[in-house]
Amino acid sequence: EIYKAWVENGNEERKLTKLRKCEGSVIDKELLVWFSKTREKNLPVSGPTIQEKAKQLAEVHGLNDFKASNGWLEKFRKRHNISFKSICGEASSVDRIAVDDWKKKLPNIIDKYEKRDIFNADETELFFRVLPNKTMAFKNETCNGGKVSKERLTVLLCCNIIGEFERPLIIGKAKRPRAFKKLDVNKFPVDWCWNKKAWMTTQIMTDWLMKFDKQMIKSQRKVLLLSTCSSHPHLN
């Protein structure tokens, strides 16, 4: 009887294992078809995107126990010869000598000030319609990114060493974009400025600095670190 029970239970376990493999195979096949078609359209596909699609397929097939774990993703990638590739080249390197020299001088400049009094501000470009520059792809596949969207905003961010942030400044191309039609710009959690190219200008930077300086004086703060740039004015 013990042997009989062992055989029956063993058979059930084998059946469950076989069933899981079949269920996994269904997801695997459909996911591979989706991945291939997506890459044919030259669209980037990240690991989390693959995992999310696998979960959607599992839900469609009623496979509630399916787990799209990182381990599962790694096995799927290896099974189908998929690697993580760059679509476009990396940004050019900076002048390391100048950077190292500045890093040596900076501590002596700020040493006599409290951390809460030392701020840094800088601009960054936000290309809000640009797709990721890396993708999962078949190992023998050539990755071409195609035409890159140039739709952009300029964002000025400022904070001190202890992590206190100032109100961000956003620069767009229109004084009142269509998306703002029914919105009150003054209620935004950011300051909105504009010019035809959505760039930082000397006038915008001057206005921001004058406003920031008044805040610094009022709160008895001392230092703002700002990079050298044609749009950054020298104020007395």
Tokens 């020299």 found at: 101
pLDDT tens digit sequence for 168-223: 999 999 998 998 888 988 899 999 999 999 999 999 999 999 999 999 999 999 89
- Name the residue type at position 160: N
pLDDT bin (cut points 50, 70, 90) of residue 108 is very high
Which residues neighbour 15 within 8 Å (Cβ) at sequence distance 6 or greater?
Answer: none
pLDDT tens digit sequence for 2-19: 555 545 555 555 544 444
Token pair in block for residue 43: 């669209």
pLDDT reported for residue 127: 84
CB 193 within 8 A of CB 171: yes
| Among 22, 122, 151, 42, CA closest to 88 | 42
Report which DSSP code applies to 125: E
pTM of the model: 0.57
- Name the residue type at position 224: L
Report which DSSP code applies to 1: -
